[in-house]
C-alpha cells in the first residue's frame, strides 16, 4: 500500500480518458491540469504541461489503447516526472494488451507484462479498472490495484428493470453474480468455446429467461461475437428484452452492427473507452480506490 499525503492532487487527463479525468476531478474536488497536446505533421505526439506541479502529487488518467495512446501515456509520464512531481499515480481505465496475459504458444510475447513494465518505470502506483485477469497486476513493478465497474453498471441496469443477469462465459460468472446480487435477481452463465479471434461457439443450455428483461454482462466487447451468440440464445429461449453491458467497449470489426442485428435491445458500456455507448462512468469506483491509498 502506498501512503500518499497531499493537500492538492492534480488530475491530468490524457487524450483517451478526458471524460474520466474530468469526472474524477469533480468527484475528488481536485484541480484538472492544463496541458497542450498536439500531433506533428508526421503524426508524432507532443505534450506540454502548463501548470507548475513541482512537489505535487499527480494522477495521470489515460486508457492504454490503442497503441498510439500507450505512447502518449509514456510521454505524459516523462513530462510529469521531469516537471518535479512528488508522486505519480497512473490510472489506466482500460489496460490494452491485457488479454495476452501469458504465452499461449512458444515464441509469443507476454504483451501485458511488456506494457506494465514500461508504465511502471515512471510511476509510483497504478490503478486499472476490471482487468481481464487480476494476475496482470503482478506484472507492474510498483504497487498496482484494480477496481470494478460492476456495481456502477448494475445500478444502471436496475433502473432499466433488469430481472435476470447472464454471463456469456465462465470468466464473467463472478461479475454476473455480483451484478445480480446488487439488482437482487437470478443469474446464470453460458459455456463458450473460442474458435478463433472472431468466432465463438456457445454450448446450448436451458436458461430461466422466458419473459425476462435480461442483461448480459462481460468485461470486454471486442468483435461482439460472444455477446451476439448469447443474445440469440436468450431470444430463442423467450427473453423479452436483452441488454448488453460491458466495462470496456472496444466495438471493433462491425461489433455494433452485429449486436443490433442479433436483436440487442440496448448496448451499454462505461467510459474506459469513450464511445456513443459510454453511459456509465468509472470515475466513482476509481475515486474510491484512490481514497483508500491516499488521504484525499
Ligand atoms: C474474453 O474472455 C472476454 O471476457 C470477452 O468475452 C471477449 O474479449 C469478447 O470478445 P468478442 O467481443 O470479440 O467476442
CA nearest ligand 1 atom 8, residue: 220
State the residue range of the domain holding 95. 9-149+281-293
Could you give the count of Cα atoms lying within 13 Å of 134 in the half-sphere of its Cβ? 7
pLDDT at 45 over 70: yes
Residue 2 lies in a domain: no
pLDDT at 267 over 80: yes
pLDDT at 166 over 60: yes
166 and 143 within one domain: no
187 and 71 within one domain: no
CA nearest ligand 1 atom 2, residue: 171
Closest CA to 252 of 100, 97, 66: 66
Closest CA to 258 of 278, 238, 236, 230: 230
93 and 21 within one domain: yes
pLDDT at 277 over 80: yes
What average pLDDT does the segment 185-213 reach? Answer: 90
Q: Measure 186 CA to ligand 1 centroid, in angstroms.
A: 23
Residue 4 lies in a domain: no
CATH for 174: 3.40.50.2020
pLDDT at 59 over 60: yes
Which numbered atom of ligand 1 lies nearest the CA of 221?
Answer: 12
Mean pLDDT score of the chain, rounded to an integer?
95
Q: Measure 276 CA to ligand 1 centroid, in angstroms.
A: 19
Q: Are strands 57-61 and 87-92 parallel, antiparallel or unpaired?
A: parallel
66-87 pLDDT tens trace: 999 999 999 999 999 999 999 9
What confidence score (pLDDT) does residue 204 get? 81
What confidence score (pLDDT) does residue 196 get? 84
Tell me: cis bond preceding 209? Omega within 30 of 0 counts: no
Q: Does the predicted model carry a pTM greater than 0.75?
A: yes
pLDDT-derived band of residue 2, with 50, 70 and 90 as boundaries? low
Catalytic residues: 192
144 and 20 within one domain: yes
Pocket test for ligand 1, best of 97, 129, 218 (most atoms within 8 A of CB): 218
Cβ–Cβ < 8 Å for 64, 94: yes
Ligand 1 neighbours by CB, cut-off 6 Å = 168-169, 171-172, 200, 218-226
What confidence score (pLDDT) does residue 7 get? 63
Calculate the alpha carbon distances from 116 to 12, 136, 174, 190 in Å: 19, 8, 25, 31
143 and 13 within one domain: yes
Which numbered atom of ligand 1 lies nearest the CA of 222?
Answer: 12
Which numbered atom of ligand 1 lies nearest the CA of 200?
Answer: 14
287 and 145 within one domain: yes
What is the per-residue DSSP string for the chain? ---B--S-EEEEE-TT-HHHHHHHHHHHT-PBPPEEEEE-TT--EEEEE-S--TT-EEEEE--B-SHHHHHHHHHHHHHHHHTT-SEEEEEESSBTTTT--S-SSTT---HHHHHHHHHHTT-SEEEEES-SSGGGGGG-SS-EEEE--HHHHHHHHHHTT--EEEESSGGGHHHHHHHHHHHT-EEEE--EEE-SSS-EEE-----S-TT-EEEEEEEEESSSHHHHHHHHHHHHTT-SEEEEEEEEE---TTHHHHHHHTT-SEEEEESSS--TTEEE-SHHHHHHHHHHHB--
Residue 1 lies in a domain: no
Which numbered atom of ligand 1 lies nearest the CA of 224?
Answer: 12
19 and 33 within one domain: yes
CA nearest ligand 1 atom 5, residue: 220
Cβ–Cβ < 8 Å for 246, 273: no
Residue 276 lies in a domain: no
Q: Measure 251 CA to ligand 1 centroid, in angstroms.
A: 11
CA nearest ligand 1 atom 3, residue: 220
Q: Measure 158 CA to ligand 1 centroid, in angstroms.
A: 24
Q: Measure 263 CA to ligand 1 centroid, in angstroms.
A: 19
CA nearest ligand 1 atom 9, residue: 221
Pocket test for ligand 1, best of 220, 255, 273 (most atoms within 8 A of CB): 220
pLDDT-derived band of residue 216, with 50, 70 and 90 as boundaries? very high
pLDDT-derived band of residue 104, with 50, 70 and 90 as boundaries? very high
Place of cell 499515480: 89
What average pLDDT does the segment 238-246 reach? Answer: 98
Structural domains counted in the chain: 2
pLDDT at 296 over 70: no
pLDDT-derived band of residue 286, with 50, 70 and 90 as boundaries? very high
Q: Measure 220 CA to ligand 1 centroid, in angstroms.
A: 5
Q: Are strands 200-202 and 192-194 parallel, antiparallel or unpaired?
A: antiparallel
Amino acid at each position: 500500500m502506498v501512503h500518499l499525503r497531499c493537500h492538492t492532487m492534480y488530475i491530468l487527463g490524457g487524450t483517451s480518458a478526458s471524460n474520466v479525468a474530468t469526472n474524477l476531478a469533480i468527484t475528488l474536488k481536485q484541480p484538472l491540469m492544463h496541458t497542450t497536446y498536439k500531433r506533428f505533421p508526421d503524426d508524432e505526439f507532443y505534450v506540454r504541461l502548463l501548470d507548475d506541479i513541482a512537489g505535487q502529487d499527480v494522477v495521470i488518467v489515460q486508457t492504454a489503447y490503442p497503441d498510439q495512446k500507450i505512447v502518449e501515456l509514456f510521454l505524459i509520464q516523462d513530462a510529469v516526472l521531469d516537471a518535479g512531481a512528488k508522486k505519480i499515480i497512473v490510472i489506466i481505465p482500460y489496460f490494452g494488451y491485457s488479454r495476452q496475459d501469458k504465452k499461449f504458444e512458444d515464441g509469443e510475447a507476454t504483451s501485458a507484462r511488456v506494457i506494465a513494465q514500461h508504465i511502471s518505470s515512471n510511476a509510483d502506483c497504478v490503478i486499472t479498472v476490471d482487468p481481464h485477469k487480476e494476475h496482470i497486476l503482478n506484472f507492474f513493478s510498483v504497487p498496482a490495484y484494480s477496481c470494478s465497474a460492476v456495481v456502477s453498471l448494475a445500478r444502471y441496469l436496475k433502473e432499466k428493470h433488469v430481472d435476470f443477469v447472464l454471463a456469456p462465459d465462465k470468466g464473467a460468472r463472478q461479475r454476473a453474480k455480483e451484478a445480480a446480487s446488487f439488482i437482487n435477481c437470478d443469474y446464470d452463465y453460458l459455456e463458450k468455446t473460442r474458435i478463433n479471434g472472431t468466432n465463438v461457439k456457445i454450448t446450448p443450455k436451458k436458461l430461466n429467461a422466458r419473459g425476462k428483461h435480461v442483461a448480459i454482462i462481460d468485461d470486454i466487447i471486442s468483435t461482439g461475437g460472444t455477446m451476439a451468440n448469447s443474445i440469440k440464445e436468450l431470444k430463442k429461449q423467450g427473453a423479452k428484452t436483452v441488454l448488453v453491458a460491458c466495462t470496456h467497449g472496444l466495438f471493433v470489426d462491425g461489433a455494433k452492427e452485429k449486436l443490433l442485428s442479433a436483436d440487442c435491445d440496448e448496448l451499454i458500456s462505461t467510459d474506459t473507452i469513450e464511445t456513443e455507448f459510454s453511459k456509465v462512468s468509472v470515475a466513482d469506483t476509481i475515486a474510491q480506490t484512490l481514497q483508500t491509498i491516499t488521504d484525499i
